[in-house]
Amino acid sequence: MKILFFGDVVGRSGRDAIVKNVPHLRRDMALDAVIVNGDNAAGGFGITPQIAKDFFACGVDVVTGGDHIWDQQKDITQYLAQEKRLLRPENFPLKTVGSGSYLLSFADGRKLLVLHLLGQVFHKEHTRCPFLTADEILEKYKLGNNQAILVDFHAEATSEKTAMGKYLDGRVSVVVGSHTHVPTADARILPKGTAYQTDAGMCGDYDSVIGFESSAPLERFLTKISKPKMEAAMGTATLYGLYVEVNDKTGLAIECRGFRL
């Protein structure tokens, strides 16, 4: 199974690049599945139903969120309840609307589970433990019964992401980090066969401060005042992500490399 995961989409620049490029990437790379983190797709803050629909229409199979999933709360809450391919983190409270996992079934009978988790270190959300939440899901979904399992771990601390990779090594096909918008140079296959990257990076304008026009972040750093408003950068986007090929018989990775376009 060939899987391409895209890191956080930031603003119009990033989402236009996704819509433009996913169709030919699916064809040219013979991809079985495309997963996109859309946590900052709506002007840098959350995602709207229409943006999610545009992603699905261009060939994206599953869209994950993160700590900004509720930023467009007026529009997104009801859509999350209806659209199972759009994920909020699994370790939110059990009564929270939506789901944090989705089982993608292919016409040939193969299955890919996408699991989305939110980190705890440096995050203000009071979520359940992501490690124990992963255990709960993996009691139901195991490699062997499913050809592949991908975990998008949306977390701030590199240590927490690395720990998750070690914790799930051999039990899932892929652990890939999102959230920090900077691609890390550590894409690799861990000792027990799980593909891993601490952060896939972002899909957006890199002539910016993590996808935002530089003036507002600089002003915040210089004055410690949270104004002016952060605006997504609108220059040409670069797409960053992680490409993984999985052995359908074992569910473990046989190829893993960072992706850049």
User: Active-site residues: which are they?
Assistant: 68
Dist CA 172 CA 167 (whole Å): 10
Q: Which of 206, 200, 204 is nearest to 4 (CA)?
A: 200
Burial of 111 (0-12, 13-18, 19+ CB in 10 A): middle
Question: How many of the other CB atoms lie within 10 Å of CB of 219?
Answer: 14
Helix ranges restricted to H, 174-261: 215-223
Which residues, including other chains, have CB under 8 Å from residue 130's CB and lie 6 or more apart? 89, 91, 117, 118, 119, 120, 153, 155, 164
Residue 117 gets which letter from DSSP? E
CA dihedral 86, 153, 202, 224 (to 10 degrees): 110
- Which among 7, 8, 5, 17 is positioned nearest to 235, based on CA atoms? 17
